């Protein structure tokens, strides 16, 4: 598949996502958005690999600095995305754990301030 076809495909898929948002009768499909994002990430990683290859290619010695500069920009972007994804995942796990623990502890008649004070007063 050539680059213009890939770009055209990404643009078409992006337009389909916009259509989902414009359609007031149906909800947007989260899975479609997530798949597009994953595919976009894959394209970015593939592009980063191509830039590294181009920078290391000895035929283009005069453009080596330009390729490395662009490579660093793309690699920085990809690293930033990875860190953001990791952070969001950690926040998600924290919230799930917190929610789970809060659901475990349900106040009951055994766990009231009065019952605690009675328990502690019997210790003295």
Domain boundaries, the chain: 3-102
The pLDDT value recorded for residue 75 is: 87
Q: What letter does residue 63 receive in the DSSP assignment? A: G
Weakest mean pLDDT among 7-16, 32-41, 68-77, 102-111: 102-111
Question: Tens digit of pLDDT for each residue in 39-69?
Answer: 888 888 899 999 999 888 878 678 888 989 9
> What is the spatial distance between Cα 39 and Cα 35, in angstroms, rounded to a whole number?
6
In sequence order, what are the residues at sequence separation of 6 or more whose Cβ sits closer than 8 angstroms to the Cβ of residue 74?
44, 47, 48, 51
């Amino acid at each position: 598949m050539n680059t213009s076809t890939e770009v055209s495909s990404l643009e078409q898929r992006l337009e389909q996502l916009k259509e989902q948002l414009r359609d007031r009768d149906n909800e947007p499909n989260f899975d479609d958005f997530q798949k597009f994002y994953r595919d976009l990430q894959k394209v970015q990683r593939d592009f980063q690999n191509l830039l590294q290859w181009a920078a290391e290619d000895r035929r283009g010695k005069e453009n080596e600095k330009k390729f490395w500069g662009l490579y660093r920009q793309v690699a920085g972007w990809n690293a930033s995305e990875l860190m953001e994804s990791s952070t969001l995942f950690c926040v998600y796990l924290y919230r799930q754990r917190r929610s789970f623990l809060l659901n475990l502890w349900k106040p009951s008649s055994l766990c009231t301030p009065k019952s605690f004070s009675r328990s502690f007063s019997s210790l003295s």
